[in-house]
Amino acid sequence: MTTLRPLRWTDFLTAYRLASDPDERANARDHTMPTLRGHFRWMRKWVGGRLCKAWTIRVDGKAAGIVRVERRAYPLNEQEMSVVLFPKYRGKRLAQWGIKEVAGTMHAMTMWVTTAYIKKGNRASMGAFRRAGFRFTGRVVNGLSQFVYDGGE
């Protein structure tokens, strides 16, 4: 069974391993590998944060990845979504499920525009976001293509 649950402090090592994944670092804005101290600060921001929400994607009770949403009031009340899976869970159309669940709920409950910023060569991510209901806006910001969720409308 595939489920989502909010990130907790007990997910510290899971989140650290995901953040240290080479593909995740290559596709993130900040390419530097996390330190434990830096990861502690990261967890403080993401566990129970007001503007940052994160969930673990779980398959049969095991952590498969993390989907998260960070809110920014400027420039357009936007919430940026990102996702990462452990390598053994990739290629199974799992990310799009997590993205769709979170984006759909957010879309129904908030006025925020849900976006994703994806590196040009990251075809796997573009495919997952597209299939989850995002479309490319035509904007490229610092080399990252902007996608927006339209709620399947």
Ligand X SMILES: CC(C)(COP(=O)(O)OP(=O)(O)OC[C@H]1O[C@@H](n2cnc3c(N)ncnc32)[C@H](O)[C@@H]1OP(=O)(O)O)[C@@H](O)C(=O)NCCC(=O)NCCS
Name the site residues for ligand X (rule: CB under 6 A): 23-24, 27, 82-85, 87, 90-96, 116, 118, 122, 124-125, 127-128
Bridge-based pairing of strands 78-85 and 134-141 is unpaired
Phi, psi of 65 (to 5 degrees): 180, -175
- Between 85 and 106, name the residue whose CB sits nearer to ligand X: 85
- How many other CB atoms sit within 10 Å of the CB of residue 138? 7
Shortest reach from residue 8's CB to ligand X, in Å? 21
CB of 16 or CB of 48, closer to ligand X: 16
Judged by beta carbon, residue 91 or residue 151, the one nearer ligand X is 91
Report how far apart the first and last C-alpha atoms of the chain are (Å, whole number): 28
Shortest Cβ distance from residue 21 to ligand X (Å)? Answer: 6
- The closest residue (CB) to ligand X is 91
Give min distance, CB of 19 to ligand X, in A: 10
Distance of CA 129 to the CA centre of its chain: 10
Query: What are the angstrom distances between the C-alpha of 41 and each of 16, 49, 106?
Result: 11, 12, 25
- Closest separation between CB of residue 149 and ligand X, Å? 13
